[in-house]
Amino acid sequence: MNLQLSPIIRLPQVSVGKGAFVTGERVVAEETPVALTYNGSTHAVMMASPADLDDFALGFSLSEGIVAAPDDLISTEIIEHEMGCEIRMWLSDRCSGAYRMRRRALAGPVGCGLCGVESLAEAWRPLSRIAGTLRVSPEAIADAMADLSEAQRLNREARAIHGAAFWRPGRGVIAIREDVGRHNALDKLAGVLAKHSEPPSEGAVLLTSRVSVEMVQKTARMGAPLLVAISAPTALAVRVAEGCGITLLAVARGDSFEVFTHPDRVDLVHCEGTKLR
């Protein structure tokens, strides 16, 4: 197998249409097996874009509750193999003991968020309730989602890559990460924010994907009060967002979106409308 350790590559193709064909090239997204190991033991094998893997390592570790802070990862090394990548991480003493107690294996397709959990209880680790005073206007949401599209450098070329971004009022999109897996993109975003001590409580997470429950859980563990997505949520995602205090906006396209939970963070005072009973 000849893997290309670049997030996008150019491949030959043949376009067929209207009774004719033409040879050419297309930029396509790469996906690579990425093994995450802690203290010498493999914890997870994920299919991911081979980019920003240091952010992925930290964000995944935080999201999974393996570490509580960036300095709990004593060292991180990315090793390229013929069949993929390995991220070797070593934990602090305070995390190593807890990790040995809960060690589990996880292997699945692109960014599969709950594959391999050992019990239903593990899938429902408690989430802290999100507070904060963030309040945004509909116009700001529309501008943020437009900025998200513009910031997707890889997807502009390959048209098959998810994006997760962090937006702050007055500053716009300050960080974005892309990946073939939507969960991976969000983990990478969590990693880069933690690395730079950027407080998620002061902004919104923006997604190019649908909102499944894992995306809400990861956002809650980051501490972001507002989650905005291009596509629709699942019913479970809405219930979890309601329960942990996240304002969930979805189907955000153009200047319109739908508010599913905690609408008090959206300034609708200048909008015309009728409250449904």
Average pLDDT over residues 157-167: 97
Task: Based on the fold, state whether residues 223 and 180 are members of the same structural domain.
Answer: yes
Task: Based on the fold, state whether residues 117 and 143 are members of the same structural domain.
Answer: no
Does residue 27 lie in a domain region? no
Task: Based on the fold, state whether residues 153 and 49 are members of the same structural domain.
Answer: no
Distances (CA, A) of 94 to 68, 71, 99: 10, 11, 9
pLDDT by residue (tens digit) across 168-207?
A: 999 999 999 999 999 999 999 999 999 999 999 999 999 9
Does residue 3 lie in a domain region? no
Task: Based on the fold, state whether residues 82 and 145 are members of the same structural domain.
Answer: no
How many domains is the chain built from? 2
Token readout for 131 is 């507070």
Average pLDDT over residues 243-248: 97
Query: Domain range spanning residue 107?
Result: 32-123
**22 in Cβ contact with 176 (< 8 Å):** no
**167 in Cβ contact with 144 (< 8 Å):** yes
**49 in Cβ contact with 176 (< 8 Å):** no
C-alpha closest to that of 48 among 88, 91, 108: 108
Does residue 248 lie in a domain region? yes
- Catalytic option among 112, 115, 244, 271: 112
Task: Based on the fold, state whether residues 117 and 161 are members of the same structural domain.
Answer: no
Structural domain ending residue among the three candidates 82, 99, 123: 123
SS (H, E, C) 97-131: HHHHHHCCCEECCCCCCCCCCCCHHHHCCCCCCCC
**CATH number of the domain bearing residue 91:** 3.10.20.10
Token readout for 11 is 């491949």
Does residue 198 lie in a domain region? yes
Q: How many residues does the chain have?
A: 277
Instruction: Clarify whether 85 is annotated catalytic.
Output: no
pLDDT by residue (tens digit) across 38-82?
A: 999 999 999 999 999 999 999 999 999 999 999 999 999 999 998
Task: Based on the fold, state whether residues 154 and 259 are members of the same structural domain.
Answer: yes
Structural domain ending residue among the three candidates 94, 123, 152: 123
Task: Based on the fold, state whether residues 151 and 59 are members of the same structural domain.
Answer: no
Name 211's Cβ contacts closer than 8 Å, sequence gap at least 6: 227, 229, 231, 232, 233, 234, 237, 248, 250
pTM score, whole prediction: 0.91
Task: Based on the fold, state whether residues 242 and 183 are members of the same structural domain.
Answer: yes
Task: Based on the fold, state whether residues 36 and 62 are members of the same structural domain.
Answer: yes
Task: Based on the fold, state whether residues 47 and 105 are members of the same structural domain.
Answer: yes
